[in-house]
Amino acid sequence: MKKRIAKDIPGYEGFVKIEPIAKGWSGDKKYYVEAADGRRMFLRVSDKKEFARKKAEYEMMERVYNIGVLTPQPLRFGLCGNGKYVYSLFGWIDGKDAETAMAHMNEQERYALGTKAGELLRRIHTLPAPEGAEPGDIRFRREVTMCIDLYNEHHLQSENGKKVIQFLRDKQNVLHSRPQTFCHGDFQIENLIVTPGGDVGAIDFNCCNLGYGDPWREFIHLPCGKETPAQFLFLSGMINGYFQNSPPHDFFVMLSYYFAWDALAALCFTFIGWELHPPEDGRRHMENVLRWFDDMSNPVPSWYLKEYAP
């Protein structure tokens, strides 16, 4: 049956089934849609104030879809609800999100899934950043400064915090001249879909507030404060798939820097309530990052598997 959505969405009269989708953190309303002609679609409805961001997101997905990346096909975009809302309509992809799929996989399958995800990400990163884009090192230095300011403002003093901040300050030269590409913005297992045939696709580009940046930054997405062997297998496979089993040393240097920032950000944001995690998750994430990188003395994380033999 139809659920209540704006009836002025083009094609609404041909929708025979509209079911809400509850999964995800965004404030958007999401729906599974079936049309009378048999088409199955995904509908996202947002507040009008999100128009510019949603338009950019839709256009980015068009670019990704057009280079052959498995992602929902963009179909229509515009205003609805007498101009009060913005809608995005996409084709539907059958499958399970990678987090659900991995729960039923063995170690070898989890690693193989990671390699496919890495190959997918490499293709996404063939799209260039827009001409005239602000240099990535300037943008990222702002983010580092913001986190340090929050850390000091809220008196989050700790030995671990001091170590990470000192590392970020001492090593900031690694940001210089890093290339920029189009970025997914939140490339993690919750935003990947595994089809019944085993293909991997990217969904949920709604975190693309980044839009573009250093492509290697997309490798830092791990559960805040939680160590999961399955994720380590997946991420090792993703690194090896992306670099065709030969990741350069410079990659790990950047990975350690971005994880150090991620640890500081997790501590600050969870402590002041900006994220859906308790403060102890932020503290634990910082402890984990320091351990993975041997107190930031080794750029290769302890969980990385250069070669995987099941």
For the chain, give every domain's residue range: 12-91, 96-292
Residue at token pair 């935003």: 191
Mean pLDDT of 191-198: 95
Buried b (16+ CB within 10 A) or exposed e, 250-268: ebbebbbbbbbbbbbbbbb
What radius of gyration, in Å, describes the C-alpha atoms of the chain?
20
What does the alpha-carbon distance between residue 178 and residue 172 come to, in Å, rounded to a whole number?
12
Mean pLDDT of 236-258: 97
Of 29-38, 203-212, 242-251, least confident by mean pLDDT is: 203-212
What does the alpha-carbon distance between residue 140 and residue 217 come to, in Å, rounded to a whole number?
10
Which pLDDT tens digit goes with each residue over 5-23? Answer: 789 999 999 999 999 998 7
pLDDT of residue 4: 60
Q: At 94, list the tokens.
A: 């059958």
Chain mean pLDDT for the chain: 91
User: Whole-prediction pTM value?
Assistant: 0.92
The domain 12-91 is placed in CATH, from the list 3.30.200.20, 3.40.640.10, 3.90.1150.10, 3.40.50.720, at 3.30.200.20
Which pLDDT tens digit goes with each residue over 157-190? Answer: 899 999 999 999 999 999 998 999 999 988 989 8
Checking if the pLDDT of 1 tops 50, the result is no
Of 83-87, 161-165, 254-258, 267-271, least confident by mean pLDDT is: 267-271
Q: 32 phi and psi, to 5 degrees? A: -90, 130
pLDDT of residue 143: 93
pLDDT of residue 309: 73
The domain 96-292 is placed in CATH, from the list 3.90.550.10, 3.90.1200.10, 3.40.50.970, 3.40.50.1390, at 3.90.1200.10
What does the alpha-carbon distance between residue 42 and residue 23 come to, in Å, rounded to a whole number?
13
Per-residue pLDDT band for 67 (boundaries 50, 70, 90) equals very high
pLDDT of residue 225: 66
Checking if the pLDDT of 133 tops 80, the result is yes
Checking if the pLDDT of 37 tops 90, the result is yes
Write the single-letter amino acid at 309.
A
Which pLDDT tens digit goes with each residue over 207-229? Answer: 545 578 999 999 998 877 678 88
| Among 72, 115, 75, 74, residue whose Cα is nearest residue 94 | 72
